[in-house]
Amino acid sequence: MTNNNPHTIDTIVIGAGHAGLAVSYCLTGRSIDHLVFERGEVANSWRNERWDSLKLLTPNWQSRLPGYSYRGENPDGYMDVKEVIGFIENYALHSKAPVQTSTTVTSLKKTSRGYQVVTNRGTWNCRSVVIASGACNLPSIPRAAETLPDNVQQVTSREYRNPEQLKQGGVIIVGASSTGLQLAEEIHRSGRPVTIAVGEHVRLPRIYRGRDIQWWMDAAGILDEGQSDIDDINRVRRLPSPQLIGSRKHPILDLNVMGDLGIQLVGRLMAVNNGVVQFSGSLKNVCALADLKMNRLLKVIDEWAVQNPQTSEYAPIERFEPTRVDETPCLGLNLADNDIKTIIWATGYRPDYSWLDVPVLDRKGMIRHQGGVADSPGMYVVGLPFLRHRKSSFLHGAEDDARFICEHLDSFLNGTTRKSENGFY
């Protein structure tokens, strides 16, 4: 129902994904009057923008949101898309979140008394706003895409659902993060020859010394690392998702597994010239970088394990075979000669802030914020990678972030927030 007279409320949360709902839960706990605007249904991205066989990279025991946790029979398993949707949907119901669905925010502006939120179902004035629309609204596609011939099908990881939507013939998957490798494996199994263009990536074993890597990252405090523990916050916020799969059956998903399957590994896709896709000659080094980084993490884990023995012993220390790279990896593929029919862009995402009419964006189009407190009084952002901690990227990381943001927001509404040294509120 469209209402032309603006309504007023203390807080509006934009986005009913897990982060927006976590914030809503905390706001309700503080009796802060608010609404959550969701352009689709709750868990919209999971319903409409993920592929069929996707599973979470984090085990079920790690699935928790404020006041809510996984209570199923398989704590060491990994949720599939339906289960994630169910989890988030049930959370919204259980926490009685005031969600208004089918409500698309078309503009957020600053006003003298706070903010004005214009939606397709009416305009609202509010004193504070939490942006929970996520980091993954739009696929990031390199400019080289524009020079691809029209007869090559281009599919982004957001549109991809399963191999059947692809033409028969060769496929180049651009990007070797968790999405790229998962898609490579299933598309290869569908009988299509696969090439993966590998840029910088994060290699991690699923199971290490008998335990899930997430168990180690959690127990050893790595997921709790915050901005002050990190050298370069911008770099960690842009890290690709680690090469993991939500599976205990075939737990290892790395470039050696890809190579053993007969998938061709090439360097980062750099350009398309005269029907030839050109790859970087740096493949060997990006693989070396990933191996070194993995080994550094495993060393940290081993050192922690020595200091923190468990009642059930850890399995012995292990190291993994270095990534095997051809002596002379292919530097270019002629699309026609190699019957390449499809390019899949598994090159990551960026947020869509086209509706954000407040000058809070930096020169890269990202919201300027300090741990979720945006550079505009009463504005907050959640659900971004490493927002406050390494765990911010994961489902269970939403809780601490939501609690901090809502505490700050509460003080703001009470007029008790002080402007901090760096100018952020």
Binding site for another protein (CB under 8 A): 200, 228-231, 267, 270-271, 273, 278, 280-282, 285, 288-289, 292, 295-296, 328, 363
Nearer to another protein, 48 or 273 (CB): 273
Residues in contact with 417: Cβ distance below 8 Å, sequence separation at least 6, in sequence order: 408, 411, 425
| Residue 314 neighbours by CB under 8 Å, 6+ apart | 209, 210, 211, 305
Q: Which of 146/164 has CB closer to another protein?
A: 146
Cβ of residue 235: shortest distance to another protein, in angstroms? 11
Shortest spacing between CB 396 and another protein, in angstroms: 25
Q: What angle do CA 88, 9, 358 make, to 5 degrees?
A: 85
* CB neighbour list of residue 340: distance below 8 Å, 6 or more residues apart: 152, 169, 170, 171, 172, 195, 277, 333
The enclosing H or E element of 124 equals: strand 122-131
Phi, psi of 48 (to 5 degrees): -115, -10
Q: Name which of 189 and 235 has its Cβ closer to another protein.
A: 235
Closest to another protein by CB, 239 or 289: 289
> Helix and strand tally (H, E) in the chain?
9, 23
In the complex with another protein, which residue's Cβ is closer, 8 or 285? Answer: 285
Of residues 49 and 200, the one with the C-beta less far from another protein? 200
For the chain, the C-alpha Rg in angstroms (whole number) is: 23
Please state the closest distance from residue 256 (CB atom) to another protein, in A.
18
Nearest distance in Å: CB 232, another protein:
9
Burial 92-110 (b: 16+ CB within 10 A, else e): beebebbbeeebebeebeb
Q: Which is nearer to another protein, 104 or 295 (CB)?
A: 295
Q: Minimum distance between the CB of residue 367 and another protein, rounded to whole angstroms?
A: 17
Structure tokens at 35: 């609404």
CA torsion angle for 177, 181, 184, 190 (degrees, to 10)? -140
Nearest-approach distance from CB 319 to another protein, in angstroms: 11
Chain-centroid distance of CA 198 in Å reads 19
3-state secondary structure (DSSP) of residue 400: helix
Q: How far is the CB of 258 from another protein (least distance, A)?
A: 21
